[in-house]
Amino acid sequence: MTLADLYSMMPIVITGGGALIVLLCGPLLQARSVSWISVVISGSAGVWAAFTPPALTPSFPGVAFTPLAQFLIPLFCLSAALTLLFSHGYNERRGILGEEYPATILFGLFAMCLLPCATNLLVLFLALESIAFAFYILVTMDLNRVESGEAGLKYLLMGAVAAAFTAFGFALIFAGSGTMALAGALAATGNRVIISAGWGMVIVGIAFKLSLVPAHLWTPDVYQGAPAPVAAFLSTSSKVSAAALLLILLAFSPPLAELRAPLYALSLLSMVLGNLAALLQSNIKRMLAYSSIAHMGYLTLALLTGTREGYAAVLLYGAIYTAMNLAAFGAIASLSLDAERDQIADYSGLGFTAPLRGGVLALAMLALAGIPPTAGFIGKFFIFYSAIRGGEMTLAIIGIVSAAASAYFYLKVVVHLYMHRSNAAPPAPTPAAESLALCCASLFILGLGVFPAPLMRIVDAAMR
Amino acid sequence: METTLFYILSAVTVFGTLCAITARQAVRAIVYLVTSFFALALIFYILGAPLVAAFEVIIYAGAIMVLFLFVIMMLELGSPEKLPKPRLADWWPAVILFLAVVGSVTVIAASRQPAIAPGFTAISVREFSQALFTRYGIAVEAISMQLLFALVGALYLGRRR
């Protein structure tokens, strides 16, 4: 253990220590300074990770700063920082007081930083469960709304069952391979039958985390009940970390042959049912929940191919999806006053009365629909390209058709924003923090749509 | 001798857990669960982990279950709930899952490989602690953060309003 090892673990130390500092100093400081301190903590952890050279040998027993961690940690930190920027004003309007909120976000970020660094099954499982734990608390944070508590309870109950499945899966993989270390556990040299049973259990648990179709029932209720900035963080970083867990478990090699059928079914059902159900929604948060189910179906399609290209597409899409959903939920959070603005019809005419937020929401919808020159197009393009190259022609065609159908409900929001008039009073001007976060997210969406090459180089480096 | 003991104990564990999830009274369910924890502790002992066996009894059967009992008695949930009996149609997902589990276990049993059964070698407290705080030190830190935030969340949500 050297100083360099400690340096490479600094993102975990910064976020973990930061969560504790915020918790301790929160009562002494103003809410505004607590928010800014948390943003600075998550930003500095991200910058540190981005500029630290990755190492393949474990720094401490159980953790290593891998190239994948170097890619994912800045992404998670960015999304946590943007979430915190969105939440400050939103929480003030809603009376969500106290330092628990930023501290719990930082704790979730701590677990997310730990997850890609894990080199044994135990740390991997604990990191995954800590992320879920942070979200159980965050979803129920709004004590003034009954839905928030209900959503938290639903998430907790379903999450506990999913955690049991994942834990049992990891235990079976351990039983089959005889080692907790990831490198040994995945060599599949032990009892193949037990290992594949373990993989089946893990897939069930991950299907819940990614909200793939038979395990998706919690998603709409939780997104609707959770405060909008929490939904932003939940729909992006928690999903990306679950996908990252699968990538770490697979170690960038093709999945076991037995896993093809379940992954195929999950991907097919999620893409079709997610998009069809989203067509019927009149509540924008529920619509985005079903859309996220469909998007995770696309992600599974790329995972299914088992090729390097497919995995690169997963990472690329994870980053792009983070930007798109942060922009969408951020705009919703910023436009919500003391009541949640959750019906799509409530957004009529907002493109004119609130140009920045309306514009960002419209941009996010166009990106989610996959319309060029937004980043959403690049992401979908690489998913389907890798699927076709990987031999999943049927599923890719079904995915493309369902993605085309999805344009209807995304564009419906844009139509409401710009083609309907409303006599409602214009919303209050955007606070500086929220404008900053919204501009950041939309720059990311547009920048990556026009110049995707830098991100693709980073993704390529992350897979080494 | 150890094998026989193992099968008896596992039968007790499975039976206790089954009774715990089917019991109508919460207090009864807890007593069944405690029974199954005791059997589980003995299984850990046979496998050569006396410390884990002791923890199972002290922490799970002792502390946590007693806490559960207190909570249930304080909330007066002792009377059985009047739930309607599940209809025949509600059973089919459970039946399908049960068949799937039985099928998988049969497949695993059929492809049986020679079981690794090393003799009884107890792991000392010193070895256990060394592994826990060096090899799995990060896991201990992660779980302590998780417990801290469980506390924070519980305090936040339980605050009087």
**CATH of residue B48:** 1.20.120.1200
- pLDDT tens track for A74-92: 999 999 999 999 998 888 8
Burial (CB < 10 A; 0-12, 13-18, 19+), residue B143, is: middle
Residue A239 has pLDDT above 60, yes or no: yes
d(CA A275, CA A361) in angstroms, rounded, equals 19
pLDDT of residue B161: 64
Residue A427 lies in a domain: yes
Question: Of the residues B64, B79, B94, which one is the last residue of a structural domain?
Answer: B79
Residue B88 lies in a domain: no
Which residues in chain A are contacts of B134 at CB distance < 8 A?
Answer: 61
Residue B35 lies in a domain: yes
Number of domains chain A is built from: 1
Give how far B58 is from chain A: nearest CA, Å: 23
Residue B78 has pLDDT above 60, yes or no: no
Residue A229 lies in a domain: no
- pLDDT tens track for A171-190: 988 888 888 888 776 665 67
Residue A204 has pLDDT above 80, yes or no: yes
pLDDT of residue A151: 92
Looking at the fold, whether B74 and B138 belong to one and the same domain comes out as no
Looking at the fold, whether B74 and B129 belong to one and the same domain comes out as no
Domain with A412 in it? 254-464
A61 has a chain B CB within 8 A of its CB: yes
Residue B66 lies in a domain: yes
A120 and A181 Cβ atoms separated by less than 8 Å: yes
Residue B154 lies in a domain: yes
Contact across the interface for A129 and B146, Cβ inside 8 Å: yes
Contact across the interface for B138 and A61, Cβ inside 8 Å: yes
Amino acid of residue B118: P
Counting residues of chain A whose pLDDT is more than 70, the rounded percentage is 98
Average pLDDT over residues A153-157: 93
Task: pLDDT band for B82, please (50, 70, 90 cuts).
Answer: low
Structure tokens at A407: 């344009």
Residue B161 lies in a domain: yes
Which residues in chain A are contacts of B109 at CB distance < 8 A?
Answer: none
Residue B159 lies in a domain: yes
A63 has a chain B CB within 8 A of its CB: yes
Q: Is the dihedral of CA B142, B148, B151, B156 positive or negative?
A: negative
d(CA B155, CA A261) in angstroms, rounded, equals 44
Number of domains chain B is built from: 2
A16 has a chain B CB within 8 A of its CB: yes
Residue B114 lies in a domain: no
A156 has a chain B CB within 8 A of its CB: no
Residue B116 has pLDDT above 90, yes or no: no
Contact across the interface for A62 and B153, Cβ inside 8 Å: no
pLDDT of residue B27: 84
Which residues in chain B are contacts of A134 at CB distance < 8 A?
Answer: 149
- pLDDT tens track for A317-367: 999 999 999 999 999 998 887 777 888 888 888 888 888 999 999 999 999
Residue A316 lies in a domain: yes
Of A420, A260, A287, which Cα lies nearest the Cα of A365?
A287
Does the N-terminal peptide bond of residue A54 adopt cis geometry, omega within 30 degrees of 0? Answer: no
Question: Of the residues B15, B49, B79, which one is the last residue of a structural domain?
Answer: B79
Rg of chain B over Cα atoms, rounded to whole angstroms, equals 20
Residue A458 lies in a domain: yes
Interface predicted TM-score (ipTM) of this complex, two decimals? 0.89
A294 and A275 Cβ atoms separated by less than 8 Å: yes
Give how far B88 is from chain A: nearest CA, Å: 22
Q: Searching chain B, which residue's CA lies closest to the CA of residue A138? A: B153
Residues of B with CB under 8 A from a CB of A: 104, 107-108, 111, 113, 134-139, 141-143, 145-146, 148-150, 152-153, 156-157, 159, 161
Cα atoms in the Cβ-side hemisphere of radius 13 Å centred on A86 = 32
Which residues in chain B are contacts of A126 at CB distance < 8 A?
Answer: 139, 142-143, 146
Structure tokens at A199: 């993989």
Inter-chain Cβ pairs, chain A and chain B, closer than 8 A: 78
Dihedrals phi, psi of A320, to nearest 5 degrees: -70, -40
pLDDT of residue B120: 67
Residue B45 lies in a domain: yes
Q: Is the dihedral of CA A351, A355, A357, A362 positive or negative?
A: positive
Domain with B156 in it? 124-161
Which residues in chain B are contacts of A62 at CB distance < 8 A?
Answer: 135-139
Looking at the fold, whether B130 and B75 belong to one and the same domain comes out as no
Residue A372 lies in a domain: yes
Residue A423 has pLDDT above 80, yes or no: no
Residue A309 lies in a domain: yes
